[in-house]
Amino acid sequence: MKKAFSVILSFVIIILSFSAVGYADDEKLNYVVLGDSIALGFGIYNSDEACYGRIVANTNGYNYSNYGINGWRTMDLKEQIKEENVKNDIITADIISLSIGGNDYLQQNLPVLFVDVISKKFEYIDDIEEIFRENFSQIIATIKEYNPDAKILVQTLYNPRFDLLRSFYGVAVERINRSIYAYLDENPDAFEIVNVYSVFTADHPEYIAADSVHPSAEGNYKLAELVLEKLAEMEIGTATNPVILIKGIDQIPYLSTVVKFFRDLIAFVFAGVKK
């Protein structure tokens, strides 16, 4: 009888343990990352394990989903969030990080874009900004429709490390960022801004990967730190020091050689045009 009671007691303890674990898991906040290659963590080899979104989730113990895709523009994200699996994760999200907008310019006719900036006409660049504003507004509105209670964090764009091309891309970056701030002015409390632009400057080349565009392992760490600081400010989390479970591995060096060649070639051509 005593033995039978011990067996039953052990069984009850095991069941209660599983219940406790399940309850604790249910209590975790749901964190969803949306957007482009920066959201995905393309600048590092092991992005799934060590991008900034993963670091934030590991640090605060969040359930984590990442839907970032290389090359994604606002028009792509606008359609992606209507997909059933993405929509469902947005509906149950407590926190959503959003990185989008850079490819709205980078995937356009770059020679025309550069001439537009050099001539200071800004007709082409104005058209792109207008499209961004329209798509961005629809993205935020759709997320709000799905989940009005989710806390949305929108990252500002930074200027890629393109040496002579920084002045050209700087104009595009400023246009995207001003549109983000303009939306927030018109729709107070729609989202919180994570000001990446103010930190990822020319003084910190170590934050940029070998391809001169995406965040490096150190850059992903810094991005995670910025997000964690914003969450602490919003009183959603208390940790501001990122927890690294798996160290990020920077892109393979030979890739930077290829990228640098084409980058410098474009810079040389358009430096001549500028003169």
pLDDT tens-digit map of 81-123 = 999 999 999 999 999 999 999 999 888 767 777 777 777 778 8
Q: What is the DSSP letter of 109?
A: -
Is residue 220 within 8 A of residue 228, CB to CB? The reply is no
| Right CATH for 28-274 from 2.40.170.20, 3.40.50.1110, 3.40.50.2300, 1.10.287.3510 | 3.40.50.1110
pLDDT in tens, 31-72: 999 999 999 999 999 999 999 999 999 999 999 999 999 999
Of 104, 103, 154, nearest to 126 (Cα)? 104
What token pair was written down for 215?
């965040």
Domain ranges of the chain: 28-274
Is residue 60 within 8 A of residue 237, CB to CB? The reply is yes
pLDDT in tens, 148-192: 999 999 999 998 876 556 777 888 899 999 999 999 999 999 999
* Strand ranges inside 1-141, DSSP E: 30-35, 63-66, 95-99
CA dihedral sign of residues 12, 17, 20, 22? negative
